[in-house]
Structure 1
């Protein structure tokens, strides 16, 4: 069996010769960090251009235009009498939305009959479209509340009681951990971590499969589990150092570039990141034993990025998922790590605040190692039976 040093030398040769592994593990994380991050670079935008089509030409419709324009995130570029002019600007990307006030809007609104206001949005940039949608909704809710208030006062209801009836529930929004209250600051950090995770899974998995196929490691009757793990340990040494360095690079360079703050302990962050890297690598070795080619591995793992993110509990609460998905989600190292990362980066959490997620991550590391051992024993017994049958 090859020595530990020889395996390390072989792995270095493989990384330098195999352009797929080299590109996936070294260049892809940096490229995608800037490529994907560029979508969210201008996370907090202002003066988003919007056109207004006023078919009512009433004092109320003009007031709505003024209120929408007063929103710091929206800039009304002009009021038009027909859709053709507004659509020309919209299709030319000169405006990102069109607000349409229908005919008889003021009349129906003041008579409490109700009237539909239409909003056309350019959803290619969902951050800006969300800001437009939110700003217009706030204006319409304010106008609706004012109309109800005037109606109640005109009905000789006392002003204080009219205020309570016009808006019985007053929303109070206080941003605690996401101070800018936008998707970019919340989503971008975890997308950067997801890039690191997926490139590690794909690149390291290709290396493991090269070992299993080229050297036929699992078919070697002289290799026991601890010999197999020695080979995997030697192969993984480069990836541990590389991805620990990538986490450091992302934290020190990429995060500041996108104006993302990291409030938690650096030591705690890097310690948990190292445990996360080891957990992902153990699971990668385990899963790669079910594949026969690096191409098949790459194809499957590349399409797993979005599903793994969705079930991690970051974008949707795990408790709201079906029971089967809850079990699956809690077996993923990314589930506790994403939660820890969010608590550390945004909330400035300390050790006591993440102890349950830390225990879960360490348990999953142990569980992955045990699963890999059982998988090796199964393959070993299957190999023995095949040898005896021959």
Structure 2
């Protein structure tokens, strides 16, 4: 434990980042959805119905019409200057097609550098189109009662319910996976940095220097594990218990279930990090090994892209990391109220990883202990020869 608090880099990864990053990410996405996305209009129809369409679009929460352009070239220039993120184009024959009983079109162009802009443009225009379609149907039907109008507009009553994410927000969808990844990556980075520090501070650059206090493989492994586990139990409580409450994220899972679920996850990450740390020669190597994998692990976890659509070789690669199973299990427990039995597959996989990486950790540490003893003995013989 003393080595953790004496190393500024390790303290940064173990104590600062797991607190700072969840708060920063949650603050960025706390609004869940974007509102009042600036958009421009090119209205070649210039009719009462096209003006009504534009007025209703501007009244939605998703879009804000900032300009009426004379042509598409002017609209594109505004988008190029990043003053607007979408164009609504109403063609010249908009009203004429409706009067002739033909299908008409409203074209939307969106800045696809951000999918949330596209979502806002699509939702606003779809809802307004459906609303105007309903009015047109009523006019064409020439009904005599309100009930007939209701049946004409909506012959089959339906209701949309967003399960587990009522606001359809990005924070409720993305942050659970990000929180799990923050715990894993900071723990791996801290373990790797401590391993690099240990090598740099002893004369023979060994991971486990030979000394009277270092005998006993299990004692070394379990002592390190207890230190890491103690710190990250507290950090996990903050990430998975406090942060969702502060930022009103979905949290319907049983806390006891989460405790039992994350225990093998933390153990698997610790043993995995200790195994990989056997190849870390310098403090900075861990950053090179683990940081670049963060975005990849989010994509192949099945959170942002369906697992069924992920190629087989990427699936196999994802099974190396505990975060793959932890993210899926955590989302099911926390957002969907699943029990431990419901996530038995992920839970068993985490225990299997913990057991496997414990074995590889012991093997790598045993090898390093033997290597350290051999090098120490050789160094001792060399010094004796020099002295004699």
TM-score by length of structure 1 reads 0.77
1:201 and 2:191 matched: no
Partner residue, 2:355: 366
- The Cα offsets for residues 166-201 of structure 1, whole Å up to 9 and x where unpaired, read as 999998642111111222211122212222221111
Partner residue, 1:295: 284
In structure 1, runs of 5+ residues without a counterpart are: 1-7, 155-159
Relative to structure 1, is the Cα distance of residues 234 and 380 closer, same or farther in structure 2, using a 3 angstrom cutoff?
A: closer
- Contact 2:333 / 2:339 at 8 angstroms: preserved in 1? yes
Partner SS state of residue 301, structure 2: coil
- The Cα offsets for residues 44-99 of structure 1, whole Å up to 9 and x where unpaired, read as 44444433232221244223213423434334456444568767876787655332
Partner residue, 1:118: 108
Relative to structure 1, is the Cα distance of residues 227 and 202 closer, same or farther in structure 2, using a 3 angstrom cutoff?
A: same
- The Cα offsets for residues 140-164 of structure 1, whole Å up to 9 and x where unpaired, read as 46667988x799989xxxxx9xx99
* In 2, Cα distance between equivalents of 1:384 and 1:21: 27
Partner residue, 1:132: 121
* In 2, Cα distance between equivalents of 1:251 and 1:245: 10
Choose which of 230, 238, 242 in structure 2 pairs with 1:253: 242
* In 2, Cα distance between equivalents of 1:252 and 1:272: 14
1:32 and 2:21 matched: yes
- Contact 2:253 / 2:333 at 8 angstroms: preserved in 1? yes
* In 1, Cα distance between equivalents of 2:128 and 2:218: 62
- Contact 2:108 / 2:121 at 8 angstroms: preserved in 1? no
1:255-334 alignment runs, 5 A limit: 255-334=244-323
CA drift of 1:206 comes to 0.8
- Contact 2:22 / 2:179 at 8 angstroms: preserved in 1? yes
* In 1, Cα distance between equivalents of 2:223 and 2:208: 19
CA drift of 1:243 comes to 1.8
Partner SS state of residue 264, structure 1: coil
* In 2, Cα distance between equivalents of 1:96 and 1:51: 8
1:6-25 alignment runs, 5 A limit: 8-9=1-2, 11-12=3-4, 15-16=5-6, 18-25=7-14
Partner residue, 1:188: 175
* In 2, Cα distance between equivalents of 1:239 and 1:362: 17
- Contact 1:313 / 1:329 at 8 angstroms: preserved in 2? no
**Aligned pairs, how many?**
367
* In 2, Cα distance between equivalents of 1:213 and 1:311: 35
Partner residue, 1:350: 339
CA drift of 1:275 comes to 2.3
CA drift of 1:283 comes to 0.5
Relative to structure 1, is the Cα distance of residues 61 and 201 closer, same or farther in structure 2, using a 3 angstrom cutoff?
A: same
- Contact 1:41 / 1:258 at 8 angstroms: preserved in 2? yes
Deviating more after overlay: 68-77 vs 287-296: 68-77
CA drift of 1:349 comes to 1.6
1:77-92 alignment runs, 5 A limit: 77=66, 79-82=68-71
Partner residue, 1:74: 63
- Contact 1:217 / 1:228 at 8 angstroms: preserved in 2? no
Relative to structure 1, is the Cα distance of residues 330 and 177 closer, same or farther in structure 2, using a 3 angstrom cutoff?
A: same
- Contact 1:108 / 1:115 at 8 angstroms: preserved in 2? no
* In 1, Cα distance between equivalents of 2:82 and 2:182: 30
- The Cα offsets for residues 267-305 of structure 1, whole Å up to 9 and x where unpaired, read as 221232232111111101111212322212212211111
* Coordinate RMSD, CA, aligned: 4.0
CA drift of 1:103 comes to 3.4
Partner SS state of residue 294, structure 1: coil
- Contact 1:123 / 1:129 at 8 angstroms: preserved in 2? no
Partner SS state of residue 99, structure 1: strand
- Contact 1:43 / 1:182 at 8 angstroms: preserved in 2? yes
* In 1, Cα distance between equivalents of 2:161 and 2:34: 19
